[in-house]
Amino acid sequence: MRIESRTSTGEAKTDPRAAAVTFVTTEHFVLQGARAATIAESTGRATMFLASVSGGLVALGLVATASRVGTAFYAFGLVLLPTLAFVGLVTFERALQSGVEDQGYARRMALLRAFYFDKAPELAPYLLSVPPTDRLRVLGILGGRWQGFRTVAGMVGVITAVLAGSTASLVAILASDHSLAAGLIAGGVVALAALVALMRFQRAAWLRAADEPLIAGEEDASE
């Protein structure tokens, strides 16, 4: 049952049930915990990836010094760099999944904040109240043209593209009889192509997630 009260103007006001308020509040805290878990997973995976890249590059430098950039260096580099690029690719994909999941939790939290202000508008002067279009920004979900490079997945994608370009550069140097120009051109082209592909993939994933309805029947109603 709902409790009816009177406002200062004499109009009838229906208050939400206590059970509904408790459920919404609990859901808000559960979603906040879920967001923290996705952020922690993305950070942990990115940390493991960066540690792998750092250790691999140190080992590559030691091999280069020991072999004086000879056959052993190229053989080790052509095994190490593609492996690191593969690790970066799967880390990018998982970090992107975690980011999309985090955005879904943030959207649901913004929906719950709307419930608070709709059912208790007298709280607006005391709580941070913004228009519906800015509720995700309040929760830390920013937009912008360059936002894709600020995410954990975007950072991992940039490093992965550089690793792919480095692999192509080594191959080009060997194929062109140690031509530095060929290595730079091949590495730059592959790195740029990989970066563009990863950023487009990330943007498409974000757009698909933003178009998914949060409420059952919302998609049918919009059509």
Say if 147 falls within a structural domain.
yes
Lowest mean pLDDT among 3-12, 70-79, 119-128, 162-171: 3-12
For residue 144, give the 3-state DSSP assignment: coil
Judge contact between 122 and 100, C-beta under 8 A: no
Say if 161 falls within a structural domain.
yes
Say if 5 falls within a structural domain.
no
All residues at 6 or more sequence positions from 73 whose CB lies less than 8 Å from its CB, including other chains: 60, 63, 64, 67
For residue 129, what is the DSSP state?
-
Say if 4 falls within a structural domain.
no
Instruction: Note the pLDDT tens digit of each residue in 97-150.
Output: 998 898 888 888 878 877 777 777 776 776 666 665 665 665 556 666 777 788
Instruction: Note the pLDDT tens digit of each residue in 57-84.
Output: 999 999 999 888 888 999 999 999 999 9
Say if 1 falls within a structural domain.
no
Domain that holds residue 91: 12-213
Query: How far is Cα 191 from Cα 197, in angstroms, rounded to an integer?
Result: 10
Say if 24 falls within a structural domain.
yes
Total count of domains within the chain: 1
